[in-house]
């Protein structure tokens, strides 16, 4: 892996005019995740999207360098955090939602179908009463809901497929599309986790590509390619329709589903998934400490092929 893919990278995508946000992307190298700041240039109000609470899966230790980096950018750019947002319960990193809420005082939010995801995983963990997203998030957004970042309107799109409850945030000419699309030279995201559905992911991607051609699409992950070693995370709808190696114009639904499912069958579980989901479905909180003062996670054995 190149040095660039092994190091944090920050890029600013400035507002393109009235109704358009400033966007900062912050690349987290351990998981290839992209974290975002979406800000209203007029009021300096901002939302933090899909921020990482760093987790070492070898030693089961946590650290805060990613959220510290994001909050440093907030201060450097004289922003005020209005929202802490996630697009879905992530399988490959632990969300910083609860800790960012504590540090900023801003409400946290995620999609309204996350309780259904919690039900699936409560059964897999055999923890029937462990997860309560209504308790752990201040807002559960429905399809078509809207809210404000400063003076900017944000619209919520339900984007299932990667998970059954994934959502996209559309703010002016910026859309945060998480684990649906990858960069055009990489294609699309996997759909084989419990509750995922390849056909639904196709429909979600088509809804995203129906946005105006100039819309800036911000993806959830990048891992580079053989020909590109610098991480990237922004491309327009028009660029995806012309260049995306999986879903560019002229691609059939049947061909894409066959290709996606064949690829997904070769993929192992992410190395953080069994820890991450047990925390993320609590809004980024650890289970309650036990009588010795320590926190413990429960890991299902032989539940996945």
Encode pLDDT of 88-122 as tens digits.
999 999 999 999 999 999 999 999 999 999 999 99
Domain tally, the chain: 1
Mean per-residue pLDDT, 248-262? 97
At which residue do the structure tokens 């327009």 appear?
A: 236
User: Is residue 286 one of the residues assigned to a domain?
Assistant: no
Average pLDDT over residues 10-26: 98
% of the chain with per-residue pLDDT over 70: 98
Is residue 85 within 8 A of residue 48, CB to CB? The reply is: yes
Tokens of 75: 């201060």
The answer to whether residue 299 sits within a structural domain is no
Is 69 inside any structural domain?
A: yes
Rounded Cα distance between 157 and 35, Å, is: 19
The model's pLDDT over 195-204, given as tens digits with 9 standing for 90+, comes to 999 999 999 9
Domain annotation covers residue 219: yes
Tell me how far apart the alpha carbons of residues 212 and 209 are, in angstroms, rounded to a whole number: 8
Which two three-digit tokens encode residue 214? Answer: 């100039």
Q: What is the pLDDT of residue 6?
A: 79
Which domain range does residue 92 map to?
8-280
Whether residue 12 has pLDDT greater than 80: yes
**C-alpha distances in Å from residue 222, one per residue of 13, 78, 129, 188, 233:** 17, 28, 35, 11, 7
**Does a structural domain hold residue 119?**
yes
Quote the radius of gyration of the chain (alpha carbons, Å). Answer: 18
CATH number of the domain that residue 69 is part of: 3.60.15.10
Say if residues 246 and 261 touch (Cβ distance below 8 Å).
no
pLDDT in tens, 173-195: 999 999 999 999 999 999 999 99
Count other Cβ atoms within 10 Å, centred on residue 116. 14
Task: Tell me whether residue 305 is in a domain.
Answer: no
Q: Is the pLDDT of residue 231 over 70?
A: yes
Does any domain span residue 38?
yes
pTM of the predicted structure, to 2 decimals: 0.96
Q: Please report whether residue 301 resides in a domain.
A: no
Mean pLDDT of the chain: 96
Q: What angle do CA 270, 265, 238 make, to 5 degrees?
A: 80
């Amino acid at each position: 892996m190149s040095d660039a893919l092994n190091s944090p990278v920050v890029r600013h995508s400035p507002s393109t005019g009235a109704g358009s946000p400033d966007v900062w992307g912050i690349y987290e190298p351990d998981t290839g995740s992209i974290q975002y700041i979406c800000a209203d240039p007029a009021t300096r109000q901002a939302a933090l999207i899909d921020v990482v609470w760093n987790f070492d899966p070898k030693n089961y230790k946590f650290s805060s360098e990613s959220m510290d980096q994001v909050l440093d950018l907030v201060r450097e750019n004289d922003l005020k955090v209005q929202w802490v947002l996630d697009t879905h319960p992530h399988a490959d990193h632990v969300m910083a939602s609860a800790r960012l809420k504590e540090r900023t005082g801003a409400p946290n939010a995620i999609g309204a179908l996350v309780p259904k995801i919690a039900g699936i995983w409560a059964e897999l963990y055999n923890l029937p009463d462990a997860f309560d997203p209504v308790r752990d998030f201040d807002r559960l957004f429905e399809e078509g809901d809207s809210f404000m970042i400063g003076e900017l309107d944000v619209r919520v799109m339900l984007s299932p497929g990667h998970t059954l409850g994934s959502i996209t945030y559309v703010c002016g000419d910026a859309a945060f599309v998480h684990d649906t699309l990858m960069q055009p030279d990489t294609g699309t995201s996997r759909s084989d986790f419990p509750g995922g559905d390849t056909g639904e992911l196709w429909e979600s991607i088509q809804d995203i590509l129906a946005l105006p051609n100039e819309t800036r699409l911000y993806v959830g992950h990048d891992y580079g390619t053989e020909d590109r070693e610098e991480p990237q995370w922004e491309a327009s709808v028009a660029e995806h329709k012309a260049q995306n190696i999986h879903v560019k114009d002229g691609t059939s639904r049947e061909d894409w589903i066959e290709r996606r499912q064949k690829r997904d069958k070769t993929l192992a579980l992410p190395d953080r998934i069994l820890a991450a989901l047990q925390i993320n479905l609590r809004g980024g909180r650890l289970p309650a400490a036990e009588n010795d003062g320590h926190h413990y996670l429960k890991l299902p054995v032989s539940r996945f092929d």
